[in-house]
Amino acid sequence: MNSIFELFKIGIGPSSSHTVGPMIAAFRFSKECMERSCVAPGTDVSIARVEVQLYGSLALTGVGHATDNAIVVGLAGCLPDRTSPEVIQSTVDAARKSGRLLLNGQLDIQFDESKDLVWLRNETLPQHPNAIQFKAFRDSGECFLEDQYFSTGGGFVYSREEFDRNFAKSSSDLVVGDSVPYPFRNAKELLQMCRGASASIESLIQANELTLRSELEIDSQLDLLWSVMSNCIDRGCMSSGILPGSLKVPRRAPGIFGKLSQQSALSELAELAVSKDMLPSKLLTESKPGTLTQSDPLAQLDWVSLFALAVNEENAAGGRVVTAPTNGAAGIIPAVLAYYVYFYPGASRQGIHRFLKTAGAIGLLYKRNASLSAAEMGCQGEVGVACSMAAGGLAACMGGSNEQIENAAEIGMEHNLGLTCDPIAGLVQVPCIERNTMGAAKAINAARLAVLYGDGHHFVSLDRVIETMRQTGVDMQLKYKETSLGGLAVNFVDC
Ligand code: SF4
């Protein structure tokens, strides 16, 4: 994987590994079914039903993570970046009511969830904790096609054959293609290549991306990512009510937005950002922008927390988000990027692009050398990685050197090491939503420490901290890895 656009995906909530990934897997299997059934015209290859088995973490937390919905709509031919949350809901409702669905949007088949979707909570496949087995059967009952898919975090999906080809021993062995001019595998190589080319991290990423798409496409894709993030913040600030699921968690973002708007309107810098088309935001008209009242010097921090809460509440509600690099941690990068846009003097569209390219470079290091999957790494692989990426992105926008960016990213992860994944009731809500506010604040702190008060020299390298995260993830007990079998998930009831 060489592109940051494989890392930043436009998807829907609440989970990249448990919603986006399974939807893509189901879509791919349904497409394969239709393609194969057309291979021999005239032969009886009609498909009567499909059976899906969910293993391990997907089975344990799949209900709270809407994995069942994702499978249904994926089989019906929907993809997360092309389907609205409303269409997803109506497709699921129709399939549940009728016990049937249109496979890949084309072939009417039986899909009775109570029989055809099997939750194997005590079984795992050796390749990965997030595994799905699909089987399609003919009218005669004979198996027509079967395959396994692995959802390895961040919306990445591999078929059995792809998994075997890409991962020699584990997810850390992902092959780096040599089709790009700078095929860096780790932070040391990234910094060496930057030195050799007298270039910034952003420039190296740009050079790599240019082998895959035009400059215009890169720019418009980056604009689109920020637009989706920004619109998600807007929607989250305006949407009140109770989040889906058994916890009945109330949305907090609109209330906080109301209070903050009264206490301290967003800055004139933000108004400027809107005038420059950097911020497709409704927030400013709602909050009657003026100067940021500094009666509370930490008001900026409150806005950052609001941005993160808004995104993650939207994510929890199944809304449109950017997987950055996962959905559970989708609020951190938008919140820190919004901090840059709203509050940082001299913020620009180029700065937004610099942020995303630099953060993307750091995310690629984690994907290549460890994992983005909470089922493998715990929450350090989601919130920790997003914090590290955001810290590096902000450091770049603050004018940090490559070494200071690497330092910021290292700090961002160092203080998230060991963070467990223990979502209550299997929902991506508690502690997930609030945890994004902490990740965003930590990222800003890390960037400031590295750029304003550091010179790039530091004790622990980013590569070492990534390897430490990987080892910690391997050693972490299963109950803390997106299973809802330990931690807050079992201790939240006050007896
Ligand atoms: S605890 Fe962290 S890793 Fe686990 S679901 Fe929540 S955000 Fe994702």
pLDDT value, residue 213: 96
Domain range summary for the chain, segments of one domain joined by + = 13-167, 187-491
Angle between the 332-343 and 299-316 helix axes, to the nearest 10 degrees? 140
**What is the SS3 assignment for 9?**
strand
Mean pLDDT of the chain: 91
Closest atom of ligand 1 to CA, residue 435: 7
In contact, 390 and 439? CB cutoff 8 Å: yes
Terminal C-alpha separation, the chain: 48
pLDDT value, residue 262: 78
Cα-to-centroid distance, 436 and ligand 1 (Å) = 10
Residue with the larger pLDDT of the pair 171 and 10: 10
Backbone phi, then psi, for 96, in 5-degree steps? -65, -40
pLDDT value, residue 179: 86
Q: Which of 408, 419, 391 lies closest to 456, judged by CA?
A: 408
Closest atom of ligand 1 to CA, residue 482: 4
The protein residue with its alpha carbon nearest to ligand 1, atom 1, reads 421
Ligand 1 site residues (CB inside 6 A) read 328-329, 374, 379, 382-383, 421-423, 428, 431-432, 435, 482
In contact, 462 and 456? CB cutoff 8 Å: no
Tokens standing for residue 41: 């015209």
pLDDT value, residue 290: 39
Cα-to-centroid distance, 385 and ligand 1 (Å) = 12
Q: Which residues of 79-105 are buried (b: 16+ CB within 10 A; e: fewer)?
A: bbbebeeeebeebbeebeeeeebbbbe
Place of tokens 């059967």: 137
Determine the Cα angle at 354 with ends 352 and 359, to 5°.
100
Cα-to-centroid distance, 119 and ligand 1 (Å) = 21
* Total residues found in the chain within this entry: 495
Highest mean pLDDT of the ranges 191-205, 249-263, 294-308: 191-205
Q: Is the pLDDT of residue 172 over 80?
A: no
The protein residue with its alpha carbon nearest to ligand 1, atom 8, reads 328
Q: Which amino acid is at 64?
A: G
Percent of the chain predicted with pLDDT > 90: 83
Percent of the chain predicted with pLDDT > 70: 89
Strand ranges for 33-170 from DSSP E: 47-55, 100-103, 107-110, 117-120, 131-138, 143-151, 157-159
What gap in Å lies between CA 405 and CA 445, rounded to an integer? 13
Q: Which residue out of 58, 323, 383 has the highest number of ligand 1 atoms within 8 Å of its CB and is therefore the one to mutate?
A: 383
Strand ranges for 18-123 from DSSP E: 47-55, 100-103, 107-110, 117-120
Which secondary structure element, helix H or strand E, spans residue 379, and what is its range? none
Which secondary structure element, helix H or strand E, spans residue 63, and what is its range? none
What gap in Å lies between CA 143 and CA 456, rounded to an integer? 59
Residue 448 burial (C-beta neighbours within 10 Å; 0-12, 13-18, 19+): middle
pLDDT tens readout for residues 37-47: 865 555 556 89
Q: Which residue out of 366, 382, 442 has the highest number of ligand 1 atoms within 8 Å of its CB and is therefore the one to mutate?
A: 382
pLDDT value, residue 1: 77
Cα-to-centroid distance, 382 and ligand 1 (Å) = 7
Q: Which residue out of 16, 387, 432 has the highest number of ligand 1 atoms within 8 Å of its CB and is therefore the one to mutate?
A: 432
Residue with the larger pLDDT of the pair 67 and 45: 67
Q: What is the largest CA-CA distance in the chain?
A: 77
What gap in Å lies between CA 380 and CA 204, rounded to an integer? 27
Reported confidence tier of residue 289, pLDDT bands at 50, 70, 90: very low
Reported confidence tier of residue 174, pLDDT bands at 50, 70, 90: very low
**Cis preceding-peptide flag for 254 (omega within 30 of 0):** no
Question: What's 13-167's CATH class?
Answer: alpha beta
The protein residue with its alpha carbon nearest to ligand 1, atom 3, reads 379
* DSSP letter for each residue of 304-365: HHHHHHHHHHHHHTT-EEEESS-STTTTHHHHHHHHHHHHSTT--HHHHHHHHHHHHHHHHH
Cα-to-centroid distance, 419 and ligand 1 (Å) = 9
Average pLDDT on 388-392 reads: 98
pLDDT value, residue 287: 52
The protein residue with its alpha carbon nearest to ligand 1, atom 2, reads 379
For residue 487, what are the CA distances in angstroms to 44, 425, 435, 470? 52, 12, 15, 20
In contact, 131 and 112? CB cutoff 8 Å: no
The protein residue with its alpha carbon nearest to ligand 1, atom 6, reads 432
